[in-house]
Chains A and B, each alone.
Chain A
Amino acid sequence: EAEVAQSPRYKITEKSQAVAFWCDPISGHATLYWYRQILGQGPELLVQFQDESVVDDSQLPKDRFSAERLKGVDSTLKIQPAELGDSAMYLCASSLVGGSNNEQFFGPGTRLTVL
């Protein structure tokens, strides 16, 4: 069964360092989402891609976060510099297209701890 892949699964870093997370969506899925899930909360959208284009990054803290999906397949989310408040689970999801009735499939997530 096709799955969304994410790496690393866990990342510990010190504040002010740079970190990067990688996501490989299910083959053929044009829409890719990055969500952030703070402990005890539900996931919140950071950025959405349709192919290689950003559709929604209104909640992405652009002073320190960046995301790219250069070839419209896999994606990288970067934080530079990391802050203590960035400690969270970062979830990647993909769907065939961005329509409202298309199921989003989630990867296992990257658990980030900032010390």
Chain B
Amino acid sequence: AQSVTQPDIHITVSEGASLELRCNYSYGATPYLFWYVQSPGQGLQLLLKYFSGDTLVQGIKGFEAEFKRSQSSFNLRKPSVHWSDAAEYFCAVKGAGTALIFGKGTTLSVSS
């Protein structure tokens, strides 16, 4: 069965420092992968997605992610974190149908 694992429940990063959030997936075929961000009490906003092609994907707000099939990973990165990036981040894979299967999320805190 398809699944997504986000190993880090909570990460704290200093403002201006780089960020990497880990995501591992389990899916038999070529996965469709997504990263969403959720601010407190809000819905989810799509940061970026990977369907095929270039394994380095650029998204909104300066985020990027790299698909590594050999490692079953789709890690999210940002070179310089801003205080406004503090939120919860979810990695997701498209399931056998069209609904999304989400990881449990990583909460990002940004320290000054």
Could you list which residues of chain A lie within 8 angstroms of chain B, going by C-beta atoms? Answer: 4, 31, 33, 35, 40-45, 48, 55-56, 91, 93, 95, 98-109, 111
Contact = CB atoms under 8 A, between A and B. Distances in A.
Q: How large is the interface on B (under 10, 10 to 19, 20 to 34, 35 or more residues)?
A: 20 to 34
B48 to A, nearest CB: 11
B43 A106 contact: yes
A98 B98 contact: yes
B98 A102 contact: yes
Contacts of B41: 108-109, 111
B46 A103 contact: yes
Contact of B104 (A41, A91, A95, A109): A41
A95 B42 CA distance: 18
A36 B11 CA distance: 24
A109 B99 CA distance: 17
Given A100-B32, A109-B43, A56 B92 contact: no
A48 B99 contact: yes
A99 B104 contact: no
Contact of B90 (A4, A42, A108): A42
A41 B98 contact: no
Interface in B71-112: 90, 92, 94-95, 97-105
A103 to B, nearest CB: 6
B43 A55 contact: no
14 contacts: A31-B98, A43-B44, A43-B102, A45-B101, A48-B97, A55-B98, A56-B97, A93-B44, A95-B98, A106-B43, A106-B45, A108-B43, A109-B41, A109-B43
Contacts of A91: 43-44
Contacts of A105: 46
A109 B90 contact: no
Given A41-B105, A42-B92, A106 B44 contact: yes
A104 B51 contact: no
A104 B4 CA distance: 18
